Amino acid sequence: MKRHDQNQQPELRDGFRTLSEALLSLRSPREVREFLEDLCTPAELEAMVDRWRVAQLLDQGYSYRDIRDMTEVSVTTIGRVARFMELGAGGYRRALERTGKNTS
């Protein structure tokens, strides 16, 4: 397992920048899907899809229990998504607004 310590922070920031640039270079949802399929394992893709679905359902006002029943995602993951929607960098909210998925 990789260690995430203070010495890696500049390297990690640089990696985020170049990954972000790669994503921005893609021109269609199909191209993004293909890139993500090459980049991620099936489990990683499933986790990202689950989190995005949870974010949409939280934004629509569903309870944790309802979301759990609809998605089979753990309450821990639902809580994590909710916490990042509230206290994170703003990515979930921005994506919800820009994709027209935001209902708040």
Please give the residue that has the higher pLDDT: either 12 or 22.
22
* Position 104 confidence tier, pLDDT thresholds 50, 70, 90: low
89 SS3 class: coil
Residue from 53, 51, 52, 79 nearest 65 by CA: 79
For range 70-97, the mean pLDDT: 96
The pLDDT of residue 38 is above 90: yes
CA distance 80 to 97: 20
3 pLDDT higher than 60? no
Q: What is the pLDDT of residue 103?
A: 64
**First vs last C-alpha separation in the chain:** 39
Residue with tokens 């944790």: 64
